[in-house]
Amino acid sequence: MRLLATKQLSGAFKARLLSHQFSLVEQTFIEIIPIKNPNVNTICDNVIFTSQNAVKIVLSIPRILKMIKDKTIYCVGEKTALLLSKNGQKVTKMTQNSSELAHFLSKNYTNEAFSYFCGKLRTPDLEEILPQNNNNTIEAVELYETQLKGKRVKGHFDGVLFFSPSGVRGYALDNNFENTHSFCIGPSTAKEVALHTPNFTVAKTPTESQLLLSIKNHNIPHEE
């Protein structure tokens, strides 16, 4: 089974794919561009991260890093949580996607303000759901732009691995979805893929292990 990963994979995940005798090509279709001198003067007592990109940028700016010290941190994704923890930041709550986090915060907090470190291109779940109940507010702190990078890939792939809606958009600039199966890390990515093809599978939870499982299950021959 020949696979195309639409981003550079971690060494561990790449090794796991190759151990199952999958052929693999990695090609990035987006570029993360940090915003120079982001306008961050004050932040709320509650801080939200939904991506590793935002965490990496905060860690690279001592002024902002100092500001989040002793704040209550919430995040989306196991890798985001791990990156925060490795750098001395305690995560109070981690969920698998933005919608889940938004509903959790909306249900469990009242009259709270949240600073949301994010990119200019993002899913609207947190900003739409969180303010609906209990007089909570959320302020987006934009740290980076996501630039699509179209590139025509050569050859046939049995499956394409997608990790974000923007990755899908970048791939779609110069490639089609015919005669291949798309494997999606999560529901927001799958929603974007569904605009192009009905042939896709969504990982049960947005983790590399579940994505691998969805690929393995799809690759099992079925009796006719």
pLDDT digits (tens, 9 = 90+) for 195-213: 999 999 999 998 999 999 9
Is 54 within 8 Å of 144 (Cβ atoms)?
yes
What predicted TM-score, i.e. pTM, was given to this entire model? 0.86
* Overall average pLDDT of the 97-109 stretch: 94
pLDDT digits (tens, 9 = 90+) for 6-39: 999 999 999 999 999 999 999 999 999 999 989 8
CATH class of this structure's domain 32-146:
alpha beta
Helices (H) and strands (E) in the chain, counts: 9, 11
Predicted confidence (pLDDT) at residue 223 exceeds the cutoff of 90: no
% of the chain residues with pLDDT over 70: 98
CATH class of this structure's domain 2-29+149-219:
alpha beta
Q: What is the mean pLDDT of the chain?
A: 93
Phi, psi for residue 116 in degrees, rounded to 5: -110, 105
Model confidence at 124, pLDDT cuts 50, 70, 90, reads very high
Round to whole Å and give the CA distance between 162 and 46.
30
**Beta bridge partner(s), residue 33:** 145
* Overall average pLDDT of the 35-64 stretch: 94
Which helix (H) or strand (E) segment is 108 a member of? helix 98-108
Predicted confidence (pLDDT) at residue 49 exceeds the cutoff of 60: yes
Query: Would you kindly state where each structural domain of the chain is located, as residue ranges?
Result: 2-29+149-219, 32-146
* Overall average pLDDT of the 155-183 stretch: 96
